[in-house]
Amino acid sequence: MMMKRKKRTLMAMLVMAIVSLMPCTVVGQENKFTITGKASDFADGKKVYLIKSVESQEIPVVDSTVVRNHSFVLEGQVETPYIALVGVADSLMAREVEVIELFVEPGEIRIGEWKGAHYRTATGTPLNNASMQFSQALDSLFKSNQSVRPETLYPFIYPYIKENVGNLLGVYLFERYEASMFNDMRLELANDLYAAHKDGKYADLIAKIEKKMERERQMAELAKTVQPGNPYKNISGESTDGKELSLKSIIEKEGNRYVLLEFWATWCGPCMKEVPYLKEAYTKFRGKGFEIYSMSIDQEKDKNKWVQTIQEKGMEWTNVLRTDAKNTTEAYGVQGIPANFLIDCSTGQIIATNLRGNALTKRMEELTGKEL
CB 292 within 8 A of CB 324: no
pLDDT, position 282: 97
Beta-bridge mates of residue 104: 82
Taking the C-alpha atoms of residue 135 and residue 57, their distance in angstroms, rounded to an integer, is: 30
Q: What is the amino acid identity at position 205?
A: L
Quick one: 236-371 is in which CATH superfamily? Glutaredoxin (3.40.30.10)
Chosen CATH of 30-112 out of 3.30.70.660, 2.60.40.10, 3.30.930.10, 3.30.420.40: 2.60.40.10
pLDDT, block means (10 residues), the chain with 372 residues: 36 39 50 94 93 74 93 94 91 84 95 72 94 89 76 87 93 85 82 84 77 74 87 95 95 97 95 96 96 95 95 96 84 88 97 94 89 46
Cα→Cα distances 196→130, 133, 202, Å? 19, 23, 10
Phi, psi of 355 (to 5 degrees): -85, 90
CB 87 within 8 A of CB 49: yes
Beta-bridge mates of residue 295: 263, 320
Cα→Cα distances 261→201, 219, 336, 354, Å? 44, 18, 14, 10
**Edge-to-edge order in the sheet of strand 61-66:** 61-66, 47-52, 82-89, 98-104
> Which one-letter DSSP state was computed for residue 232?
P
Taking the C-alpha atoms of residue 201 and residue 167, their distance in angstroms, rounded to an integer, is: 10
Residue 88, H or E segment: strand 82-89
| Residues sharing a CB contact under 8 Å with residue 56, sequence separation 6 or more, in sequence order | none
pLDDT, position 4: 37
- Helix segments in the chain, DSSP class H: 2-31, 126-144, 150-163, 168-177, 183-197, 203-224, 247-251, 269-285, 303-313, 326-331, 359-371
Beta-bridge mates of residue 48: 65, 88
pLDDT, position 14: 35
pLDDT, position 28: 55
Q: Is 107 exposed, middle or buried (0-12, 13-18, 19+ CB in 10 A)?
A: middle
Beta-bridge mates of residue 61: 51
CB 240 within 8 A of CB 307: yes
Domain boundaries, the chain: 30-112, 149-224, 236-371
Q: What is the amino acid identity at position 107?
A: G
pLDDT, position 109: 96
Taking the C-alpha atoms of residue 56 and residue 18, their distance in angstroms, rounded to an integer, is: 40
pLDDT, position 42: 92
Residue 77 has, within 13 A of its CA and on its CB side, a CA count of 9
